[in-house]
Amino acid sequence: MTPLNGNFGLEYAPTPFLMRLGRREVLVTRDFRKRFYPVNPIIECDTGVEPGHVEVLLLRRWLLILSKAH
């Protein structure tokens, strides 16, 4: 017998990757956060957790974090 959600784990999540475009950075990762508000099914924009960050949620699954490069 397998435990409930036994096939779920972080080893199945794709590896996030970071792209640098000039003075900007784009981090692409899967979004695992629980949203307590209705999310637009195509694209959702929000301020990031840190100042100067913008989060773009694509197709309710992919999270793009835009920021200045350090």
pLDDT in tens, 15-51: 888 999 899 999 999 988 888 888 888 999 988 888 8
* 44 closest CA partner among 27, 57, 32, 26: 57
The whole model's pTM is what? 0.71
Q: What is the pLDDT of residue 1?
A: 44
- Domain spans of the chain, in order of start: 14-68
What does the alpha-carbon distance between residue 9 and residue 2 come to, in Å, rounded to a whole number?
Answer: 14
Please state, in angstroms and rounded to a whole number, the distance separating the CA atoms of residues 44 and 50.
18
Element (H, E) at 54: strand 54-58
Comparing 6 with 55, the larger pLDDT belongs to 55
